[in-house]
Amino acid sequence: MPALPAKLPQAGTTIFTVMSALAAEHGAVNLGQGFPDFAADPALLQALTDAMTAGHNQYPPMTGVPALRQAVAAKLNDLYGSAYDADRDVTITAGGTQGLFTALQACVGTGDEVVIIEPAYDSYDPAIRLAGGVPVGVPMTADYRIDWTAVRAAVTPRTRALVLNTPHNPSGRVATAEDLDELERLAEAHDLFVVSDEVYEHMVFDGARHESVARRPCLSERAFLIGSFGKTFHVTGWKVGFVAAPPALSAAFRRLHQYTVFTVHTPTQHALAAYLADPAPWQGLGGFYEAKRDAFRAALAATPLKLLPCEGTYFQTVDYSAVSKLAEADFARWLTTEIGVAAIPLSVFYQRPQERRHVRFCFAKRDETLAQAAGRLARLG
């Protein structure tokens, strides 16, 4: 047999697969991997059936079904005052991860450096490396804010792009208008691309506003904005998202997109286009998850776990220092096998692990699931 090329030689199995398998093996409540355990809106499921029955089962346009691209552009422009053109600037993708991967392939070349804010979602690093780039991790502050002094210090003449994630997975923090001010100054001063992961855009709590790069013309003209229908509509397994970018960036993205997936499942696109005619589902998403956050936090208040701020997403990070001195990965395994609740250790989201004794729970679950998990976690006290 010929030798295989050594691509991502340090990469193992993703932590989400590892912890979900461990949870299944031990009958643990899986609050690790970020997916809902409740059903999607029956109206959306019916729209999918209707689309298949209507014959929308062949290849759609490479860039996506026109009606869905139009719905995305209209929503972005109405929400953020942007000016995305549905035909020119919006591409439907096979989930947010493919959008991120292809955007990074489009703007990163051999030897280019890309700043990623850590803890960082685990697909960023390998996507950058496969593009020939060098990921440069910059840790957030102790309270999970972007450390702009450290970010500026990390930028060199080889820096090509920065990956922004807001609302932030795994910390649950949300970027502020001041953060976007800093990013705008940095991107303009160093002529950087921005890859903006905004898949949790509608999950922002306590009256705060999602600060999208689409709100800033100086940022949107150099940014790939990534969104996810799976996160928004509780259908993560559908793996459909979008990328919005100005013409030159979209053209570069589409050149690669056509040879990566070519296009995305046709009837699902038609179903989503029809479903987006009613804005109520995504408009109510923040309140829906805020109520789950509040209930989950109230249930955990009786445990020795310290609750860290959760401003957005459907993730709650906790400090377990009062429970154990185990390292994060070891504690997550112990919690799964001995207490019966699966979590994700934050240390896996760093190039150089920061052992803070923090793990992340997903609260995109049914009330009874969260109550069961809280009951088991109460044993920690």
123-175 residue pLDDT tens: 999 999 999 999 999 999 999 999 999 999 999 999 999 999 999 999 999 99
Out of 3.40.50.720, 3.40.640.10, 3.30.465.10, 1.10.3720.10, select the CATH number for domain 58-278.
3.40.640.10
Q: Mean pLDDT in the chain?
A: 96
- Could you confirm whether domain 15-40+283-380 is CATH 3.90.1150.10? yes
Name which of 172-181, 331-340, 352-361 the model is least confident about: 352-361
* pLDDT tens digits along 350-367: 998 777 999 999 999 999
- Report which of 97, 81, 373 is spatially closest to residue 214, judged by C-alpha positions: 81
Same topology, domains 15-40+283-380 and 58-278? Answer is no
Q: State the Cα angle at 200 between 99 and 294, rounded to 5°.
A: 160
Segments making up each domain of the chain, as ranges:
15-40+283-380, 58-278
Residue 243 binned pLDDT confidence (cut-offs 50, 70, 90) = very high
Integer angstrom CA distances of residue 286 from 194, 234, 267: 25, 13, 27
pLDDT at residue 87 greater than cutoff 80: yes
What percentage of the chain exceeds 70 in pLDDT? 100
pLDDT at residue 115 greater than cutoff 90: yes
User: Torsion angle, CA of 249/254/260/265, rounded to 10 degrees?
Assistant: 120
Mean pLDDT of 24-46: 95
Integer angstrom CA distances of residue 358 from 201, 324, 343, 346: 24, 11, 10, 6
pTM for this entry? 0.96
**Other CB atoms within 10 Å distance of the CB of residue 132:** 12
Q: Give kind and range of the element (H or E) at residue 25.
A: helix 15-26
User: Torsion angle, CA of 45/48/52/58, rounded to 10 degrees?
Assistant: -150
> What pLDDT does 14 receive?
86
Residue found under tokens 């999918």: 48
